[in-house]
Amino acid sequence: MSVALIRPLVVRTVAVSDPDDLLARLPDAAPYAWIRHGEGLVGWGEAARAAVPPGPGRFDWARGWLSSLFAGALIEDQVGVPGSGPVAFGSFTFDGDAQGTVLVVPRVVLARRGGRAWLTTIGDSAFDLVSPPREPGRIRYADGSLTAAQWEHRVARAVRRIKDGMLDKVVLARDLTAVAERDIDPRVLLGRLAERYPECYTFSVDGLVGATPELLVRHTGQAVESLVLAGTTARGGGPADDAARGAALHASQKDRHEHACAVASVREALAPLCSALHVPDEPELLVLPNVQHLASRVTGRLSDGASVLDVVAAMHPTAAVGGTPTGAALGVIRELEGMDRAGYAGPVGWIDSRGDGEWGIALRCAYVSGRRARLFAGCGIMAGSDPAAELAEAQAKLRVMRYALEG
């Protein structure tokens, strides 16, 4: 465990004129971001940081650390909305026993939402010079932990486990390595992702950059919301093909069962925390530039005003990124996947001093360090899964970050 901070935090939030483009205000220094449809938060600098120790109590530790930090802060908040005052950005590893979970409170946070904009500064925060984003140049790709053929073989083994009755579903992830001519500027990736995938949550936390379509939880007061995605097909070659693919996805017994498993896991996690919970009877189609998903928006009201991190702790890992039943699926992942997911498929997002916040599942993402990036994609494996089709789905999902790198 390591902790770095300025004590006590002296925090000031004021209303500002609409910055229009939040990402354009980011300096070239470890940017933090959470953006959807041009709204959200961006931050830079570090007023406090904690490397959260792994283990079953990591969410409790994180909440305790933040509660202590924020309780001791001197806060002047002239805005008083979710995301104003001190905010921590965080990334939790998929595997609770893995190192790498981090919480960071930026020195500066700029935000806009619902026609309002505000600026939060901590201490005597100076504004860093904003230089133009730098293109990474030519990109070379290489297999990650497994080749395509090896990964297909692991999918086939997972299907046999499912048919043998060991489990109903398991999500297997694949990674890809990219090396650029020049250091990769995360702002370039963020700009491309936010423009092309406005429906997604474009994020950047401690080198993990991506655009996830999956909202794990939005927490505002006692209201909570989760967007469940499971069941995927590629976009078609035209409107007619697109519609046919969407209809086939909606009618697919395999994909509907996969989606039902994911929704059930969210219902089971939220029900003990909520005094009211609404789960749609039928999924909708979420159409993105590269794929279509089956989607269900679950809403509820918390019974005891729990922090957003309490909800995240109850929900992770969902069946959408782990499998069903959870314990058996995690065992198969460790046996077959052949890699450390790090923060991929883990919770990523932000929390303020009230316990409000938004957290997604870190999908369609990459770890960026210098000239190198490690890209991730995953697929839900069911009894009817075809290894070649699952590989094609993974490649379609990897195109998101390939586009971010290449333009």
Q: Which positions are catalytic?
A: 169, 214
Instruction: Give CA–CA dist 203/154, Å, rounded.
Output: 30
Cis preceding-peptide flag for 317 (omega within 30 of 0): yes
Instruction: Give CA–CA dist 285/250, Å, rounded.
Output: 8
Phi/psi of residue 46, nearest 5 degrees: -135, 115
Closest CA to 210 of 365, 16, 368: 365
Whether residue 19 contacts residue 25, with contact meaning beta carbons closer than 8 Å, is answered with yes
Instruction: Give CA–CA dist 49/30, Å, rounded.
Output: 13
Instruction: Give CA–CA dist 258/95, Å, rounded.
Output: 22
- Amino acid in the structure at residue 212: T
* The token pair that represents 7 in the structure block: 């004590």
Instruction: Give CA–CA dist 337/352, Å, rounded.
Output: 35
Phi/psi of residue 317, nearest 5 degrees: -90, 140
For residue 292, the cross-strand partners are: 233, 287
The H or E element containing residue 372 is strand 372-381
3-state secondary structure of 297: strand
Looking at 316-368, list the stretches that DSSP marks H as alpha helix, in order from N- to C-terminal side.
Answer: 326-336
Instruction: Give CA–CA dist 389/397, Å, rounded.
Output: 13
Instruction: Give CA–CA dist 10/287, Å, rounded.
Output: 43
Instruction: Give CA–CA dist 298/11, Å, rounded.
Output: 34
136 vs 142, 186, 218, 307, 371, CA distance in Å? 17, 10, 34, 39, 8
